[in-house]
Amino acid sequence: MVYVVTGAAGFIGSNLVKGLNAQGISNVLAVDDLSQGDKFRNLVDCAITDYLDKDEFLARIRAGSFRRGIKAIFHQGACSDTTASDGKYVMDVNYAYSGTLLDFCQSEQVPFIYASSAATYGAHTEFREDPVCEGPLNVYGYSKLLFDQRVRRLPVAGSQVVGLRYFNVYGDREQHKGRMASVAFHFFNQYHADAHVRLFEGSGGYGNGEQRRDFVSVEDVVKVNLFFLQNPEQSGIFNCGSGAAQSFNDVAVTMLNSCRNAEGRPTLALHELQQQNLLRYIPFPGDLKGKYQSYTQADLTALRAAGYAAPFLTVEQGVSRYCHQLLARSGG
């Protein structure tokens, strides 16, 4: 029997395959759409038993080819572009595709652990897994919320179903994501290309660079996924964030100083980085007005109640570690 990871060549998916490998699991079926061919690099050092294109995988699921052949499905495949405007495409990939896999897993009694998103909360300032806190600002967030609502309607009895509402995930293997890569990744590249980083000016009542998000390392995201694999009695929708909001300035300061320290340069405080023009602010984009979360912070009550007790990396810990991974990959 195989463990299926959809979106396996993507950011979280490939890290999850590596996490399974680290636990001695190599019977992994990697599913993805490699129209963006460069994503293959994320799987080069991964141990898998087979690869299937997403459409072929879906066709085989519908044909019944995988009956009694799948141990668990980690469904990470999705359109993750929060600025996407093609609602038909987003709903097909994020809702219909997920629904097909959910129905299969329920009928075959296969654990189903899938990627939801903190985008389901929209502009709310309380981030509990409760409908009163939900109100997506874009079709991406709506597609994720609609699927969560479908999961909530399932009977209590049945195979494990876990939805993980990812907050702002950063870390290794996200180089293919373009604009949707984490700010930590963009700051690293900006510093090495231009010797400074750029943040948005103030918005939503926050000062320059002081908008706050729950930044969570992909290392911790993988640990949460594997926790639920190891605890099949746990089902539900759970936040997957650090539980602590930190500013974009915090991310920039940590990345800048990590890069500078690697060059033998001293650590500088925020105001010193600003004074030396190493940290600059650009106008807030007009296309993001009314569609931007200026503040997020995962409420981890439900996750902790499910038994996940491990601490999460802070921005200072995780971004510094990520910088070293990026330097190693770039030969810096």
Q: Beta partners for 161?
A: 112
Q: Where are the alpha helices (DSSP H) in the chain?
A: 11-22, 54-63, 87-91, 97-108, 139-152, 183-194, 218-230, 248-262, 270-275, 301-305, 315-330
Residue 71 is among the residues annotated as catalytic for this protein: no
Choose, from 177, 281, 291, 292, the residue flagged as catalytic. Answer: 177
Tokens of 285: 């984009």
User: Please, are residues 100 and 42 in contact by the beta-carbon 8 Å criterion?
Assistant: no
Distance CA 61, CA 249 (A): 46
Provide the 10 A C-beta neighbour count for residue 96: 12
Task: Report CA dihedral (75, 81, 84, 90) to the nearest 10 degrees.
Answer: 0
Choose, from 3, 114, 121, 140, the residue flagged as catalytic. Answer: 140
Closest CA to 278 of 258, 299, 298, 306: 258
Residue 140 is among the residues annotated as catalytic for this protein: yes
Q: Which residues are catalytic?
A: 140, 177
